Structure 1
Amino acid sequence: MPTLSAITLYPIKSCAGLSLEEATLTPLGVMTAQIYDREWMVVDYNGMCLTQREHPRMALIKPALKGTTLEVQAPGMLRLEIPLGLPDPQTAPTLTTKVWDDTVLAYDCDALTAEWFTKAIGVPCRLARFHANAERPVSTQWTNGVQVTTMFSDGYPVLVVGSASLDDLNQKLLAAGRQAIPMNRFRPNLVIDGIEAFEEDYAESFQIGEVVLKPVKPCPRCPMPAIDQATGTYGPDPMDIMQSYRAKPEVEGALCFGMNSILTAGEDQRVRVGQEIEVTLAF
């Protein structure tokens, strides 16, 4: 029987994730302790999102839960604590952010936080938090008209990958005289054991207890899988190996790994590592 083998929440877009034993599944994605996936985002002074694509050192910014704060660490830096309580939406300072083609209202975190991230990443930047009154719809082209929103993810609330898919890629890398790479290069929220390689591509749904996730779009890959998440530097790039078998014509030939998914049932239900998953294929 397929099982849920890993849960990862990424509080700050493009920074390191939180590995969890259990979490709540919401329409906005994975959540724990009232922290949502990609609830925060680092932006430049024009509000444009910063990512590991251009700033691989962001991989070294590591969050941790500490009471009522989100604690972040980076090499050579003092720890920073970010309050988890939401700011007052009527009085808190805001800024307009840009996530790819979307313009999103956000809270503007304070100057001390901006200074910390500027030093950690090496470019002038600020930390933004998704505003309580903001809404960011996903493309209904892939959801069959279902209205879904997300925070600062690239496009969809939940990314699901089968562990056998990474095993398959690593076998090809090793056969080519290359090093195997870990799953964190692909930054999934949920990892499934016990299904065939890339079986997630053909799933109609994943049911975990009362939770039902529907995969809606293959996840196109940028150069980020080439970034070693432990060192924050570019390493061997798996994209040339993926080029031979992971190009998807339905997304204009993009190289894809993992499935962007939406919640269709079981809102605010808890899931846990080791839980059985019922996988229904779309044929």
Structure 2
Amino acid sequence: MAGVVSLLHYPIKGCAGTSVRESVLTAAGLAHDRSFMVVDPEGVYRTQRGDPRLALVRPEIGDDGDLLTLRAPGMDALPVEVDREGPRGSVDLFGVHYTGIDQGDPAAEWLTAVLGVPSRLVRVPPEHDRVTGGETPGTAGYADSSAVLVTSLPSLDLLHARLVEQGGEPVPMSRFRPNIVVGGWAEPHVEDRARQVAIGDVVLGYAKLAIRCAVTTVDQETGERAGPEPLRTLAGYRRASAGGVAFGARFAVVRPGKLSVGDQVLVDLWGGSDL
């Protein structure tokens, strides 16, 4: 029987995730997921592709979302009272313009000290109405694409076997920054073929394969690039027909609800793989 073995949200895009036992799934993903984003002085997004030290930032957010605490090695913790009402400014996410609410100079100075480059912190405004594409359209905060990223333990097991065959070392699931990790499927990459998934009261609709980038080569504990793996090995057997290498799948939220670790995962509709 397949079930949820991990739930993770990432309050600040590109920064460390938080493992939770249960969460509310909104139309835009797990509560607080990618609600914030680090930007440069021109409002252009920062991610671990260009700023791997983002992995060192370990944000904590209260259930009500009113207080965000920034933590990083060697830095004093910084509490940030979340501003949802301030002036809206333009932000750039993958060349598309949205708006964000700046969270103030103390947060900007703290992030600049950690990253070593001028940075500011913005929050998704309440009226954010981003539309995400793929086979099932939806919405999301500042996530790369669709609201929910699903991976599975069998998929990671296969990758580990391939890495070891080539004399490499296994990599942790954190390299792939999933929201939902599924265990119990009898074979790897079932998530590629699942078109509609029911988890408790929640229903997810398949959007697209998760095409992986250089973020997977960043050690999430040290904030340093760790070499060509796992991209090099994935390129040997996970090339997508539309280009790139895939690991995991992205889903839109068809029906919001509550999710918990241990919930059964049922695939209600199947399709073919896009590899």
Aligned partner of 1:225 in structure 2 is 216
* TM-score for both structures, normalised by structure 2: 0.93
The one-letter code of the counterpart of 1:49 is Y
**Counterpart contact for 1:138–1:150, Cα < 8 Å:** yes
Aligned partner of 1:241 in structure 2 is 233
Aligned equivalents of 2:205, 2:269: Cα separation in 1: 11
Aligned partner of 1:7 in structure 2 is 7
Q: Structure 1 residue 133: deviation in Å?
A: 2.1
1:98 aligns with 2:96: no
Q: Structure 1 residue 280: deviation in Å?
A: 3.3
**Counterpart contact for 1:185–1:226, Cα < 8 Å:** yes
The one-letter code of the counterpart of 2:122 is A
For these two proteins, the number of residue pairs brought into alignment is 267
For residue 277 of structure 1, the aligned residue among 265, 268, 275 is 265
Aligned equivalents of 2:238, 2:268: Cα separation in 1: 22
1:136 aligns with 2:130: yes
1:55-83 CA-to-partner distances (Å, cap 9, x unmatched) read 11110100124585221111111101122
The one-letter code of the counterpart of 1:129 is R
Aligned partner of 1:76 in structure 2 is 74
**Counterpart contact for 1:2–1:279, Cα < 8 Å:** no
The one-letter code of the counterpart of 1:87 is R
The secondary structure found in structure 1 opposite 2:59 is: strand
The secondary structure found in structure 2 opposite 1:62 is: coil
For residue 87 of structure 1, the aligned residue among 72, 75, 84 is 84
Aligned equivalents of 1:87, 1:160: Cα separation in 2: 29
1:29 aligns with 2:29: yes
Per mean C-alpha deviation after superposition, the further-off stretch among 127-136 and 20-29 is 127-136
Matches within 5 A, 1:195-234: 195=185, 196-234=187-225
1:261 aligns with 2:247: no
1:184-237 CA-to-partner distances (Å, cap 9, x unmatched) read 000000000011200110112221111111121001111111111011111132
**Counterpart contact for 2:149–2:180, Cα < 8 Å:** yes
The secondary structure found in structure 2 opposite 1:105 is: strand
RMSD, aligned CA: 1.4
**Counterpart contact for 1:104–1:135, Cα < 8 Å:** no
For residue 193 of structure 1, the aligned residue among 183, 198, 207 is 183
Aligned equivalents of 1:37, 1:25: Cα separation in 2: 10
Aligned equivalents of 1:275, 1:179: Cα separation in 2: 31
Aligned equivalents of 1:273, 1:127: Cα separation in 2: 30
Q: Structure 1 residue 264: deviation in Å?
A: 1.2
Aligned equivalents of 1:248, 1:231: Cα separation in 2: 30
Per mean C-alpha deviation after superposition, the further-off stretch among 180-189 and 93-102 is 93-102
Aligned partner of 2:101 in structure 1 is 107
Aligned partner of 1:62 in structure 2 is 58
Aligned partner of 1:18 in structure 2 is 18
The one-letter code of the counterpart of 1:15 is C
The secondary structure found in structure 2 opposite 1:120 is: helix
Per mean C-alpha deviation after superposition, the further-off stretch among 45-54 and 129-138 is 129-138
Aligned equivalents of 1:113, 1:190: Cα separation in 2: 29
1:93-141 CA-to-partner distances (Å, cap 9, x unmatched) read 33210000321111011111110000011100100101112221112x5
The one-letter code of the counterpart of 1:8 is L
Aligned partner of 1:51 in structure 2 is 47
Aligned equivalents of 1:212, 1:72: Cα separation in 2: 32
Aligned equivalents of 1:211, 1:149: Cα separation in 2: 15
Q: Percent identity?
A: 35
Runs of 5+ unmatched residues, structure 1 = none
Q: Which runs of 4+ in 1 moved over 3 A?
A: 65-68
